Amino acid sequence: MISQAIIIQDEHVLMVKQYVKRGDIVWNYPGGGIEEYETPEQACIREVKEETGYDVAIKHLLVQNSNKFTFIAEIIGGKLYLDLKKDFNSDIIDVSWISLHDRDKFDFITSPLLDMMK
């Protein structure tokens, strides 16, 4: 199971550029696997911190499907930082605030989630 967050500020969404299992490089929402001892919310908070440096609070669940929880979250602390020395970030290339109008950064997985927020 995966838990991820959509975090929007000033017409930008926080995203990580990463290698995915199918071999592509994509911009994705920060998130990752839910550990055995975690709730989806706890996993989301931990994953966002690991991948972006930000502390977040979950606002609400946007959608859940068979293998993924997508939450709307807001930043409550921390600063943008990607620690590439950590093994859990080995698939991540970059982390950035992406303009909501830069639609070429969004794909068939990330675009529908943004559209659900309108």
- What is the arithmetic mean of pLDDT over 112-118? 87
CATH architecture, domain 2-103: Alpha-Beta Complex (3.90)
Spatial CA neighbour of 15 closest among 44, 51, 55, 60: 51
pLDDT digits (tens, 9 = 90+) for 68-92: 999 999 999 999 999 888 888 889 9
pLDDT confidence of 118, banded at 50, 70, 90? low
Domain boundaries, the chain: 2-103
**Prediction pTM value:** 0.93
Exposed, middle or buried: residue 6 (CB in 10 Å: 0-12, 13-18, 19+)?
buried
Which pLDDT does position 33 carry in this prediction?
94
Which pLDDT does position 23 carry in this prediction?
73
Strand ranges, E, within the chain: 2-6, 8-9, 12-19, 25-28, 31-33, 54-64, 68-78, 92-99
pLDDT digits (tens, 9 = 90+) for 3-57: 999 999 999 999 999 988 767 899 999 999 999 999 999 999 999 999 999 999 9
3-state helix, strand and coil shares in percent for the chain, rounded to the nearest 5: 20, 45, 35
The two three-digit tokens of residue 72, written as one number: 């709307």
Which pLDDT does position 28 carry in this prediction?
94
